[in-house]
Structure 1
Amino acid sequence: MPEDNIYQKLQHIHAQVKYIQKSQKATQYSYAGSSDVLGQIHGLMDDEKLLLLPTIINHHLESVANRKGSMTYFTELDMVMTWINTENPDEKLECPWYAQGVDIAGEKGVGKALTYGEKYFLLKFFNIATDNLDPDSFQQNVDSQKQPEPISSTQKKTLIDLFESMAGVTQTPVVKVQSGYLKRAKTNSIDKLTSYNANGLIQLVTKQLNEQTEKVGQ
């Protein structure tokens, strides 16, 4: 069996980490800390045999004095975040990234920028949501906002074929058969069915068609 490529490995991680709870507290807000993010993803990276290599390609430092004379240092980093498939080290994915950090002492600006840069890169790369909700409540909230999947062309064709078959077996006009079943699904158009409702209707018509066919055969 062939090994997964780097994109498949990253997709596996993407599928498993959808949400990280904000567990850190600041004066006026809560946030997801670097340890929260890395704690969720580090083990999955090991499972997929992936490494993330941060590289600084440009560095800018700006210092600003406040009214009292103390200095604030603003560090900006232009970076490249490189995913490496350790099962095939020649397979890499480079992602340009930007990071920044604010420091008062002056010597921790780069470290802060790297820490924040890595955290937000992982959050954005894997489209991870952060919220104050617990994971179960968050998922329920996401599910409740999802738009129902519309009926597929395959489901539509299957229903039309079933309606025609039922009309033939029961000697009933196909328009009447179709409108009767759609009324049960609380709609007047087959195109307004959701995928879920279409599946239910397919099962119902198939069951009743089999019953009608058995009666005719007796």
Structure 2
Amino acid sequence: MAEQNLNIYQKLAKIRKQVEVIQRNKKGYGYTYVSEDEILAKISGFMDKYNLSLIPSVIHSSAVVAPYHTKKTKSTNKGEIYEENVNEVLVSADMVFTWVNNENPDERVDVPWILVGHQSDGSQSFGSGLSYAMRYFLLKFFNIATPDDDPDKWRSKQKAAGAAEDKMIAEEIIASFDTMVKEFLASNQDKTEEVKKFVAKYVKGGNYFAITESVLASKLLADFKETFKIKE
């Protein structure tokens, strides 16, 4: 059963959180990539869970079908290099991907997109263009990381980045706390030992510069103001 009382943006955010990383699972054309079926297998289940539909639309008036000529450098079995003419069909068109909240179909999110494909004939070009468009739309819309190695390594990097940001916020709070303590003690020197004991309750040894968690730093600052009746 879909979660209730969520708007379409909240539902999409729920999906994004649960599909944030997919390991590349296919090899071809000299590189590794995430296949369309791998992406859909991971996302379609959550679309069902949160009662969402995705409607891809091609804007017919924008479609372009044209010859596509390139040259490919090849080599014979004797090591002789030559240029081979490649004649294909290029198909391109503007698209719109529309997310629909099935519980409230008037609630929609339209995302402009584009398809481009070139193969030996027009139908193949159109098909490959649609497949690429769908695959990259889902990857980029949900900001999905596609690491070559273990997804857990990516999550570790993500966690480390979050910890670094939290530490930076904590340092800013502690800098404000340090200024407040110095200003307070400048006019209340008899409170020095009391302040030391207060700080020691939050950090071992009383060195508040060692605090790296923003929540703890915020609590220290708030409690200091309350305990010592600091007015700003």
In structure 2, the partner of 1:39 is 41
What's the TM-score once normalised by structure 1's chain length? 0.73
Distance 1:183 1:72, change over 3 A: farther
49, 61, 68: which one aligns with 1:64: 68
Percent identical pairs in the alignment equals 31
2:54 corresponds to which residue?
A: 52
String of CA shifts for 1:73-107, please: whole Å, max 9, x gaps: 11112001101111111111111111111212332
Distance in 2 (CA, whole Å) between partners of 1:39 and 1:171 is: 63
- CA RMSD, Structure 1 to Structure 2 (Å): 4.3
Q: Equivalents in 2 of 1:42, 1:72: separation in Å?
A: 33
Partner of 2:81: none
Match runs of 1:54-203 below 5 Å: 54-57=56-59, 58-66=62-70, 71-146=87-162, 147-149=164-166, 150-151=169-170, 171-172=191-192, 184-186=207-209, 194=212, 196=213, 199=216
Q: Unmatched 5+ residue regions in structure 2?
A: 72-83, 224-232
Q: Deviations over 1:133-181 (max 9, x none)?
A: 12212211222344231139988888969xx7xxx8x842678779987
Aligned length: 201
Q: Is the 8 A contact 2:196 2:206 kept in 1?
A: no
User: What is the aligned partner in structure 2 of residue 209 from structure 1?
Assistant: none
Provide the rounded CA distance (Å) in 1 between the counterparts of 2:102 and 2:219.
48
Structure 2 Cα separation of the partners of residues 140 and 41 of structure 1: 22
